Amino acid sequence: MPYRETDRTRARAAQARERIVGAAVEQLAEGGYASATVSAVARRAGVATGSVYRHFPSKAELFAEVFRRAAQREVDAVTAAMEADGVAGAVEAFVRRALAAPQRAYALLAEPVDPAIEAERLHFRRAYADVFAGALREAGVADPDLIAAALVGALGEALVGPLARHDRAPEALVASLQSFCLSAIEAGSPHVRHA
């Protein structure tokens, strides 16, 4: 008689998978992608290394899932800030969230990763750019997609140093990046909403 999965075994497997993903998210936030070995994740999740591989055939597949979840939370936060407070609010949310969890932010923005994860990174850069482009389009900014992509690229690049060094006061960094982004937008479209 062939083995048939029950609701209970499926639920247990789903719980184990979520525990593994949660452990990987924690490991990423604590030590970045370089520290996130499958054995470290397994220890943190309280499972055998083989159990991780039963749910995720490779480290790259596990961390692609982790990256998707972590990056989506960030995109959602920036989207909410954009809806509430415009471009300045979205920039502030992007910067403050990065500074609040610098190791995770560096892993999401710039840390060398496997190609599968780099593909996810590019997907979410486009998602951030779409958030900005939507607001710029509504404000009547010329070439909103190009400007949005440039802003997202500039924000990510500008944060790499401060994330690594922890050497900038958050208020000054937020204000400087808001000013930069708003100036870049205003150069071509003086009627953009600041807040």
Q: How many C-alpha atoms does 20 have within 13 Å on its Cβ side? A: 27
Q: What is the DSSP string of 8-35?
A: HHHHHHHHHHHHHHHHHHHHHHHHHHHH
- Axis crossing angle, helix 59-100 with helix 102-109, rounded to the nearest 10: 120
The pLDDT tens digits along the chain (195 residues) read 566 678 888 888 899 999 999 999 999 989 889 898 999 999 999 999 999 999 999 999 999 999 999 999 999 999 999 999 999 999 999 999 999 988 889 999 999 999 989 999 999 999 999 999 999 999 999 899 999 999 999 999 999 887 767 666 889 899 999 999 999 898 766 554 544
Exposed/middle/buried for 122, CB within 10 Å: 0-12, 13-18, 19+? Answer: exposed
| Residue 120 token pair | 């996810």
Q: Report whether CATH 1.10.357.10 matches the domain 7-188.
A: yes
Of 112, 104, 54, 113, the residue nearest 20 (C-alpha): 54
pLDDT in the model for residue 194? 46
Cα 14 to Cα 116: distance, rounded to the nearest angstrom: 23
What phi and psi values does residue 143 have, to the nearest 5 degrees?
Answer: 55, 55
pLDDT in the model for residue 38? 95
pTM: 0.85
Where would I find the H helices in 7-114?
7-35, 38-45, 49-55, 59-100, 102-109
Cα 155 to Cα 67: distance, rounded to the nearest angstrom: 19
